[in-house]
Amino acid sequence: MADQPKAPVGYNDTPFIPGSKYRVHDSDRPQPAIVTPGEHGSPPSDAVVLFDGTSLAAWQSVKGGAAGWKVENGYMEVVPKSGDIRTEQEFGDCQLHVEWAAPADVKGDSQGRGNSGVFMMGRYEIQVLDCYDNPTYADGTAAAIYGEFPPLVNACRKPGEWQVYDIIWTAPRFNGAQLAAPAYLTMLFNGVLVHNHQALIGPTSHRRVVPWEAHPPVGPLRLQDHNNPMRFRNIWYRALTAE
């Protein structure tokens, strides 16, 4: 039987794509790398795993020394007053996955209920808060860029249930001491878009607006101890720039 004619896998007689060294449908353009996706939120094959549920080996206290949070049953839990923790690993542009849960036993209200935070590069807080039937200021809602932008919607699950942050982060760029480009955040909260390429105003503070301050192109992931026994699991990232 005669071979079927093969479909073309590219062209070399097409115009160049503006701004690119490749032609439209160029057969010489490198193939995208193959990545095996994870099942049900587990890390894809090229992820850097920061917490797999067994150990805080990748973490340390922001105050110095070992991370003071506890690990049990596949999650880490804030030990109130032990302080924020941070990764030893530092990174910039990334896709970051974090899961968290607030205590099922609801205590406190507003910013006092189920508060923690995911600090990108150690400086820029994505708020973690039990926002299920818990009014608070909008820019302090769960998934808010704290003090800057509320999430587009409140997609918070009930306390005790696992919540998922999927973050696409573009680090700010600096020219010496000057800001060249702000940080940008795109984010899904429990699969729902809550920020769409949102430019940040500056680093996080409380009751203040703080100007940009130049810092290295990479920084740690930091998690906040806000005196509530918040839980985290399944933390991983994929670097989006080679630096």
Q: Applying CB under 5 A, which part among 42-50, 61-69, 113-121, 182-190 lies near Mg ion?
A: 113-121
Report the alpha-carbon distance of residue 146 to residue 119 in Å, rounded. Answer: 10
Residue (228 or 234) nearer to Mg ion, CB: 228
**What's the min distance (Å) between Cβ of 110 and Mg ion?**
12
What is the chain's alpha carbon radius of gyration, rounded to the nearest angstrom?
21
Residue (226 or 233) nearer to Mg ion, CB: 226
Q: Applying CB under 5 A, which part among 37-45, 89-97, 111-119, 187-195 lies near Mg ion?
A: 111-119
**What's the min distance (Å) between Cβ of 19 and Mg ion?**
41
| Residue 117 in the binding site for Mg ion (CB under 5 A) | yes
Residue (43 or 226) nearer to Mg ion, CB: 226
Given a contact cutoff of 8 angstroms between Cβ atoms, the answer to whether 126 and 97 are in contact is: no
Report the alpha-carbon distance of residue 128 to residue 172 in Å, rounded. Answer: 22
Q: Applying CB under 5 A, which part among 39-47, 112-120, 169-177, 211-219 lies near Mg ion?
A: 112-120
Q: What is the DSSP letter of 105?
A: S
Residue (198 or 228) nearer to Mg ion, CB: 228
Q: Which two tokens stand for residue 62?
A: 């922001």
Neighbour count for residue 177 (Cβ, 10 Å)? 8
Tell me the β-bridge partners of 199.
184
Report the alpha-carbon distance of residue 102 to residue 82 in Å, rounded. Answer: 18
Residue (43 or 150) nearer to Mg ion, CB: 150
**What's the min distance (Å) between Cβ of 117 and Mg ion?**
3
CA-nearest of 192, 191, 174 to 183 is 174
Q: How many CA atoms lie within 13 A of 40 on its CB side?
A: 1
**What's the min distance (Å) between Cβ of 102 and Mg ion?**
12
Residue (84 or 93) nearer to Mg ion, CB: 84
Neighbour count for residue 143 (Cβ, 10 Å)? 30
Tell me the β-bridge partners of 178.
175
Q: Applying CB under 5 A, which part among 85-93, 109-117, 148-156, 179-187 lies near Mg ion?
A: 109-117
**Quick one: CA dihedral 155, 161, 167, 172, positive or negative?**
positive
Size of the site for Mg ion (CB under 5 A): 3
Sketch the per residue contact string, 211 through 230, with Mg ion: x for CB under 5 A, - otherwise: -------------x------
Q: State the residue number with the nearest CB to Mg ion.
A: 117
Positions that interact with Mg ion (CB under 5 A): 115, 117, 224
